[in-house]
Amino acid sequence: MTDYLDGEMQGEALKTVETHLAQCSACRQFVEDLKQAVATPFKEAEEKTPSERVWANIRESILQEQLKRKPAVPERLLDFLGRVFQPKPLAVLVPVMAVILLAVFLPLQSPVQKYEDAGIYLVQELGITGDSDYFESDIENGGLGTVVEEFFM
């Protein structure tokens, strides 16, 4: 009966029901009562309208949602800076450690090595050698020959 009432019955089944109803007044009455009880009252139901505050609440929720999606400029700026300066473990740590190690170990070069480097510089770049007159004593060249000079030289 449900399919018949809802217009979902087709073909042979529909023909059979219609033929029977045409002959049987009790069943016709039953179908009529059924319609009165389960269908007719609903046909006159009207569409209802929600109160105005429903839209006000929805609008408010949407605006809040939009604010969440687009944060204010200072907040976005802070967010951007935070992301820029956020430490990135390996990308930052490795170069920083390399700089620290260089800064610590480079000054530990031995003084002897430094003097040797200076000697090489003097000889190769300035052309000054041990034979140079620069280091000859005035004594040998007939310097002052004073006691003080001899003491310091």
133 binds other proteins (CB under 8 A): no
Dist. CA 76–CA 122, nearest whole Å: 60
Site string for other proteins, 57-76 (x = CB under 8 A): xxx-xxx-xx----------
44 binds other proteins (CB under 8 A): yes
Residue burial 23-57, b: 16+ Cβ < 10 Å; e: rest: eeeeeeeeeeeeeeeeeeeeeeeeeeeeeeeeeee
Q: How far is the CB of 57 from other proteins (least distance, A)?
A: 5
Q: Of 58, 55, 65, 1, whose CA–CA distance to 33 is shortest?
A: 1
Q: Which stretch binds other proteins (CB under 8 A): 21-29, 55-63, 72-80, 94-102?
A: 55-63
Q: Which runs of E-coded beta strand occur in the chain?
A: none
The residues in 74-93 that bind other proteins, with binding defined as CB under 8 A, are none
* Residue among 17, 34, 122, 128 that touches other proteins (CB under 8 A): 34
Name residue, tokens 């969440």: 68
Contact residues toward other proteins (CB under 8 A) are 1-3, 5-8, 33-34, 36-39, 41-51, 53-55, 57-59, 61-63, 65-66
